[in-house]
Amino acid sequence: MKFLPYVFLGCAISLNLCADVAKPKSSNPGGALPAVWSSTTAQERLKALRVAQLDAYRALAARVYGFQLAAGTIVYDYALKSDTIHARLGTVLKGATELEEPEYTDKGMVMVVYGLKLEKIFDALKIDQSFNTLLINKQVQHQGKIIEALGCGALPGSMGLKMLHAKRAAELDAYRLLAERLVGVKINSETSVAGLCLKSDKVEASLAAFLRGLKPVTVSYRDDGACSVTVQLKIREVVETIENLIRVYNSGNSDKITDIRITTNDKIFKATGHGAPRDDSTVVSLSSGSTAQTILHRIIKKEIVVE
């Protein structure tokens, strides 16, 4: 069976931001519901839509907290420093809105896109004067831009639900593979990223937040609903991320790391995860902080991860 480019085609990672969320071509032109949707009850349609909306909200929160401000520094690190900033970001996220009408596919899947203006995120961080120069530069660079996230829901027992299960499993698999590569990077002859995470819970949490906010490069489905998801980081992004992890570590520890010689032979860190459709109704989201950080923690501890 060949892979079919079904959703999320060609979305390149750039500061965890993509101009648009790629989706499949409309299956309901003119707003007409596909047969699989018109034959079900209004209550089931509403429940599936609500799941998609919650999924989009969680994905958007992950994008926001994993957003790189400069040299690998992410929003999560600033929120961790200040309860006020964390609260203000929460208020901003509650103001996220659907950018377009929900789209219903003939597989029984519904998709919604949530968005938030980057200016609102920057404004939430401006209470600390030390951030202002950085934020002003970013605001000029991203003026008028919106950070977006796609959320999916599906009808019980539909092919769309099986595909959604497969996509989530593939996302987790891709996340695991990329995390394994990142934690193995050497900072110097004595320390690796994994070693840094073992010494500091804050470093581990920051890395998990960054990885959780990454967007897929491609998502493809097989005819049987099996899915593959590819995520990638350019070497510049890898180095900047590791430099930020060192800053996080040095800010809370007396044994500061000053000997930095990050070494890797790769120009791109790429990982492709695979997932198979399942019949049960439980869907695990990569946006879940506990799931993402648990997988990362087990990788650092060199435990076998099978999800």
Q: What is the pLDDT of residues 170-215, one digit of tens each?
A: 988 998 898 888 888 888 888 889 988 888 888 988 888 888 888 7
CA angle, 219 as apex, 65 and 119 as ends, to 5°?
A: 30
**Position 19, amino acid:** A
pLDDT of residue 128: 61
CA distances from 28 to 22, 105, 279 (A): 17, 7, 25
One-letter-per-residue 3-state SS of 69-108: EECCEEHHHHHHHCHHHHHHHHHHHHCCEECCCCEECCCC
For residue 85, pLDDT over 60 is answered with yes
Which pair of tokens denotes residue 223? 């005819």
For residue 48, pLDDT over 80 is answered with yes
For residue 141, pLDDT over 90 is answered with no
Task: Region of 15 please: left (phi>0), alpha (psi -120 to 50) or beta.
Answer: left
Band the pLDDT of 144: cuts 50, 70, 90: confident
Domain ranges of the chain: 34-155, 157-302
- Under a CB-based contact definition with an 8 Å cutoff, are residues 43 and 60 in contact? no
pLDDT of residue 4: 43
pLDDT in tens, 14-37: 333 444 554 544 455 456 889 999
Nearest to 112 by CA among 51, 173, 70: 51
Contacts of 59 (CB under 8 A, 6+ apart): 114, 149, 150, 151, 285, 287
Cα–Cα distance between 198 and 301 in angstroms, integer? 8
Which pair of tokens denotes residue 145? 């831009």
Which pair of tokens denotes residue 93? 């996220």
